[in-house]
Structure formats: C-alpha cells, structure tokens
Structure 1
Amino acid sequence: MRLSFLEPLYKQSGPFASVYVDTSRDAAVEDPDAAVRLRWRHLRDALVSEGADRDTITAVAGTVGNDRDVPGTHGQAVFAAHGHLALLDELPAPPARDTAHFGTLPDAMPLIVQHAPGIPYLAVHVHYGGRHSTDATGTVRIEAEVGTWPLTKVTPGHRLDEEIPVADWTRAAGEVGRELEGHARRIGVETVVVAGDVWARGILVHRLPASLRGQVTTVEGAGESEPGRALLEQRLDSLFQGRMAAHDRALLDAFLAERAREGASAEGLGPAASALQRGRVKALFLNDHPESPFRLWAGPEPGQLALTETELRSYGVRDVREERADAALARALVGTRAELVVVPERELRLHEGVGVLLRYADPASRS
C-alpha cells in the first residue's frame, strides 16, 4: 500500500491533535447527532488533559460529525495542528474505540490500517426479471462501480448506470464491456464481481474484453444496496474478508523469498528502524497491534528514529522525543516513500510485529 495520501499531513509541523470517532448514521442509533456530540465531549476532555491548545480543539470540533451525508456505519479520522485542520478522512468502519491524542507526531497508523487491503475492483449488478429471450419486452439495467476496497464504503467510486432494451442486449453488452474496461484500466482493477440475473449477466460476461473476463467472480444475490454506499457492499465484504491486494501479496512473497535465503529482508523493530534511517526500506510489513507498548525515539526528520535516545543522539540529532513506535514508523514510511503491507497475524507472525523488504541487500551480510 502506497501512503501518498498522508503526504499533506506530514508537510505540516506538530504538535497534532489526532481524533478517531464513530460518526455512524444507521438505524441502530436513535439520535446519531446527539451520540456524536457526546462522543466528542469525552474526546475533547482528553485533548485538554493532554495539553491541546484551544484553537486546535476548535478546529477539530468544527469537523467532527460533519459527514451527515455518509449513511450507515462509519467513522472519522481528524487531524489538526496550530488551530487548522491538517487532514480529514472517512473511515470505512467505526474505530474499535473512540480515541484522542495530542502529541508531536500524528497518530496515523489506525487510519492507514483502515485503508487496507486496498483492493482495486469493479462491481457490476445486472438487473433483469423478464423472459430469457432477446425477443422479450422490457429492459436490462446495468449498475457498475469501480473503486478501491474498503474505501468505497464511504467514498463512492465512479458509477455507471444504463438501461438497454432486451432486444438490443446481445449487441449492447459488448459496448458496455468495453466501457467498463476503460474505467477498470484507470485504477488497475484486479477483481470483477458480477451479480444479478443469470441469463443477462452471462451475456455480459461472455462479451467482456478478455482482460476483464479472466478476472470475473460471479456472486448470487446482491444484498441491500444503500444509497451512498458501495455497490454490492455485502457481497464484497464477504468476498474480500481476510484477502490481500495482489500488489501487497507480491511484496509479501518477495519478503518471504528474501528471508528464506537470508537476503534483503529483516525482522524486528530495531532492524526496521535502522533500515528506515538509511532509506533502504522498499516495504514494511506489519501485524496490526493497536495496543502495542513498543516505543521509538524520533527526531524532527522522518528518517530520524532509533530504539534508544543514546543511539539517536550519536547521529547528531539534538531534538529527540520518545514516541509510539507505530507513529514514528508511519512518518518514516511516508518520508522515505516506502510501502506498508498489513499482514494478518494468522498468515504470518512477525518478530515484534514488524518486518521489512529492503531495496538492496547489505553487502556486509554477504561476506
């Protein structure tokens, strides 16, 4: 996963207020606005207790809960500094718990994890309920959406919605397929999920360009499609559960291959910090542990991090602070343009929850 979406955040200086809050608007909540206000009151008190300035708290207060147009369960990640909003992002799922932190570095890792697995996909729902014959009356309706899972739960992707007479469906399906291919190519779709009437969708699938046809997965039933949410959301949730994006899977395979031959890889917090210091990390692999007690010492620049204060000062860094390890790692990844791969622990347990694929092997390790 590339973290370029966080670059605007790290172009600003801290300290930062970092807030994660459940802003769900669903039927289970009788008065969602009142619930959000109550959550924010508790978070505001936490920011005050950590020394946040009034202007920064006001900047967050003006943002929390302003996503009333996003339906269903979701959350917000809000970052502010020096009285100004630094970054706002909608969370595809509510945070496990509402949190607020005020410190030198933004608490960005929970936001990064919510972007995973980051699977680019195309969803297609073929609506038709008539006779399975091209001499039937009526129309075939095509709903389609390209997006990146799970972000399209709260940030809709590009949509296509067309109705075509059944008599023209065999011919028009090829044109629809070519149109879908154009949208899919722009985001590098790796999965095409098709639901709807078996006869009508079968015609579409067989007329898709070959580049898409080999990526098709058909699903039965479409589930409820709530306005403003991802097309086929329930089916996609089941299909992508526990799955990694193909790009991330390739990086993990490369890491495992290098580890097996003791090549350009390392595990553990210390080796990862050392490699990030030198800009050698191509990708960092993380077992997500939100309550991890690990800490790192960090300086003003992204690559200035180490296990101990003494080590960091030995490099000539004077302004050093002890930070949460995940906050320091997130800044270093963005600053060095390394990628992050969130790895389920059931698939691979990493030493201290961290591993790195290096851009090149250490020559000393080969001697």
Structure 2
Amino acid sequence: MKLHFLDALYARPGPYASVYVDTSRDVDDPDRAIELRRRHTRSDLIALGADPATAAASADAVGTDADLPGRHGQALFATHGELVLTEELTQPPPVDKTQYGRLPDAMPLALQHGPDIPYVAVVLTRVEPKDSDTAPEDLLVKLQTGRWPSNAVAPRALTSLRVPVHGWHQEAERLADELAHLIDLGHADTLVACGDTWARGVLVNRLPAPLRNRVVAVPGDGQDIEPGRALLEPQLADLFRGRLSAHDRDRLDSFAAQRARRPASEGLPATVAALQRGQADALVVNQPAEKWPPIWIGADPEQVALSAADLETFGATGYEEQPADAALLYAAVATGAELIVVPRKETPLEDGIGVLLRY
C-alpha cells in the first residue's frame, strides 16, 4: 500500500494534535453525543499542552461528517491552529483517543486503509420503460470505482446509465473496454458485479479473456445504497475480508522469499536498521498491531534508532524519544517506503513487524 495519502501530514513541522473519535449516527441522540466529544477533544488537547487554536480546530471538526450514516469514525490532524487532514474511518476507534506531540499519530489511520484493494462495482437492473407499457425494457447500470475499505465511507462518484435492453450488446462492448482500461492501469484488481444474470453475462463475455477471472458475481440488487456509503458495501466487506491487494500480495511474496534467504528481515531492530540506511522498500506490519517501546528520532527521517546513544554515533543532534509507530511511519513516508498490513494468523512476524528491502 502506497502512503501518499499521508504526505500532507509530513509537509509541515509539528507539533501535531491527533484525534480519533467515534462519530457514528446509529445511537440515541447522536448530535448530543458528538457535542460531548467535541468538548472532550478540546479539553483533552489543552491538557496535553496543545495551543488553544489547534485544540479548537480539532474540536470544531468533530462530527462534520453528519451526513454519513451508520457506524464510522473520524481521524483528525491539526497543527499551528490549522486542520491539516481529515479522514473518515470505516470502523470507529474502540475508545476516543487524543494525542499531542512532535509527530502525528497516523499509524492507526494507515492500518485502517489496508488492504487498500482497488475495485470496480457494477450493478445491472432491469427497469420498467419510461414511456409506455408496450416499450421495451431498459437496463439500469450503476458503476463505482473505489479502494477497499477507505472508500466504503468516502465513496467516489456513482455513474448511472439507462440503456434499452436491445442496445445492451453495443453498450456492454463500450463499457467492457472502459473496465479493461481501469484494470490495466491498476485501478481495479476485481470487478464485482450483481444484478441481472443475462446482462452480466453479456458484459463479461466482452471483456478480454485474461480479465474474465477478475469478475466476481455477488448476490443482491444494489438498490439499498445509503447516502454517503459505497455501492455494494456489504458484499464488498464479505468478499475482501482477509484478502490483500494484488500489489501487496506480490510484495508479500517477495518478502517471504527474502526472509527465507535473510532471516534478519523481521523484528523492530531489523526494521529500524533498514530505515536508517534508506533500504526499506515496505514495512510489513501485523494486524492486530503490537505495542512497541518508544524509539528515538533526530532531525532527518533516516535518523531513527532504538536508543539515544545510537543516534549520537550518527552525529545526530536535537533528537528525542517518540512513540515507535509514529516514528516508523514518519520514516517510511519520508523515505518512500510502502506499508503492507497482513493478518497475524497468516504471516506472524517477530515483534509484529518486518521490512522488505530495496537492495
């Protein structure tokens, strides 16, 4: 998983206020619950040493996702009185969390972005003709691209087409070309389709043969879309549970081959050493994540170490102790490394972390 969505957090110096808050709407009197969370966010950040402007910017953003139904949360990051990044969370945090420090507490957000599977969802439904009872049936086509799971609560634009059934063969050919282009560009690992069986078969048969095995048929009619939620969200959740994106699966295979040759590819010391040398191509992190002891960072991203003494040997000055997950993610983003989130039961790692090397 590429980490470009975090670039804004490291484009300016901290200190950062980091807030993870439950903003679900499926509770009694959600507006009152969210107002209480705003107050707690402000007071908690002030108690942690945040300046009033940064505390206010963070608190004011709590609950600004009021149009989003169901269970969800927010991740908010602010510095110097300005909100820098707001992200919807597909799952609310177990407990609300506020932090204030030199680095943003962005690892929980990054972990929720995994497995970051690019997909296309298509729903095909026969509908009554517009004009008269004697007119031929139409086919309603709904299409949406996304990355799972982040776009479940921040869906991209939904495309809707209404096509006469007798014209579907021609329209399906055009749509198949468009879908093949998306897959070729890496914007989709999987084409998830539901609805009319005949219409789906026509579309699939017009895809290039190598891409037909990317199609997964799921049950349902796709008509119960909640505003602000992804097309086919329940079906996507069932389909992608426990899976990795094709990109991450390839990287994990490379990591497994590397680990067989070089056992010192996992564990916190090996990961820190790779980041120090700028050799980390990807961090491999177990989910659920482990709690690592704090580590030390200097002024530059590569100045990361397990102790202050280690940094002194590199000639680092102005170093300080930081939470390990925040420091590791900062070093990964700054040095262009990726993140692979893998279930612990599938690939258990020493210390819950490993590193795929560049060289």
Same fold (TM over 0.5): yes
Compute the displacement of 1:185 (Å): 4.3
Letter in 2 for 1:92: T
The answer (yes or no) to whether the contact 1:205–1:213 under 8 Å persists in 2 is yes
What are the within-5 Å matches in structure 2 for residues 1-367 of structure 1? 1-25=1-25, 28-128=26-126, 137-210=136-209, 212-222=211-221, 224-262=224-262, 266-289=265-288, 292-360=291-359
Compute the displacement of 1:305 (Å): 1.0
Compute the displacement of 1:117 (Å): 0.5
| Aligned-residue identity in percent | 48
The answer (yes or no) to whether the contact 1:12–1:86 under 8 Å persists in 2 is no
Q: Secondary structure at the match of 1:2?
A: coil
Q: Secondary structure at the match of 1:318?
A: coil
Compute the displacement of 1:71 (Å): 2.8
The answer (yes or no) to whether the contact 1:21–1:40 under 8 Å persists in 2 is no
Compute the displacement of 1:288 (Å): 3.4
Compute the displacement of 1:157 (Å): 2.2
The answer (yes or no) to whether the contact 2:117–2:189 under 8 Å persists in 1 is yes
What is the TM-score normalised by the length of structure 2? 0.93
Gapped runs of 5+ residues in structure 2? 129-133
The answer (yes or no) to whether the contact 1:117–1:149 under 8 Å persists in 2 is yes
Compute the displacement of 1:175 (Å): 2.1
Letter in 1 for 2:76: V
Q: Secondary structure at the match of 2:36?
A: helix
What is the distance in 2 between the residues matched to 1:89 and 1:243?
Answer: 23
| Cα 1:357/1:254, change in 2 over 3 Å | same
Compute the displacement of 1:355 (Å): 0.5
The answer (yes or no) to whether the contact 2:20–2:98 under 8 Å persists in 1 is yes
The answer (yes or no) to whether the contact 1:110–1:290 under 8 Å persists in 2 is no
The answer (yes or no) to whether the contact 1:21–1:98 under 8 Å persists in 2 is yes
What is the distance in 1 between the residues matched to 2:288 and 2:307?
Answer: 21
Compute the displacement of 1:211 (Å): 5.3
What is the TM-score normalised by the length of structure 1? 0.91
**Quick check: 190-199 or 178-187, which moved more?**
178-187
Q: Which residue of 2 aligns with 1:364?
A: none
Give the alignment's Cα RMSD to 1 decimal.
2.0
Compute the displacement of 1:184 (Å): 4.5
Gapped runs of 5+ residues in structure 1? 361-367
**Quick check: 245-254 or 216-225, which moved more?**
216-225
Compute the displacement of 1:310 (Å): 1.1
Letter in 1 for 2:217: T
The answer (yes or no) to whether the contact 1:284–1:339 under 8 Å persists in 2 is yes
Q: Secondary structure at the match of 2:124?
A: strand
| Aligned pairs, number | 353
The answer (yes or no) to whether the contact 2:127–2:140 under 8 Å persists in 1 is no
Letter in 1 for 2:71: T
What is the distance in 2 between the residues matched to 1:169 and 1:175?
Answer: 10
The answer (yes or no) to whether the contact 1:191–1:215 under 8 Å persists in 2 is yes
